[in-house]
Amino acid sequence: MNICSRIFLNCGRSCRRFASKDVKTMPKFSESKAYYGFDKFGTQNKYINEKFKPTYYDSTSITVVVVYLAYLREGNDLDEVFSTPQHVLSSNIERKMIKTKIEQAIARGEDTKLLEAELAYFDVKEEALKAKFAK
């Protein structure tokens, strides 16, 4: 046998010698005092089956939000947009588009009679929509 094999044999014997000693077994974590898992949590939690009971904090918060939205809040642009009928909003957008086209045609030096006729037709169309939705 060579020297390397003797060294490995000696190491193996010493390892077996230390392994044969009685070693204290470590307790399971689930049995320790630090463990607070689902099995312990479920039995001790008194709120697990309790339904929602609003407290005066919840009621007050909801009341404050409703009062603010209903009475104290001032009107803004979005309120005006949402309260305006749809045909009025679309007609204003179309009118702005036609006027922009007329301005661009004037800047290029083109004839604007067709666009002005379209604007006049649009005014008639808008009056018809107002009459239709006024009913």
Residue boundaries of the structural domains of the chain: 3-134
Q: 3-class secondary structure for 11-70? A: HHHHHHHHHCCCCCCCCCHHHCCCCCCHHHHHHHCCCCCCCCCCCHHHHHHHHHHHHHHH
Residue 71 confidence (pLDDT): 82
Q: What is the pTM of this model?
A: 0.41
In the predicted model, what is the mean pLDDT of the chain? 78
**Chain segment 21-32, per-residue pLDDT in tens:** 666 777 787 777
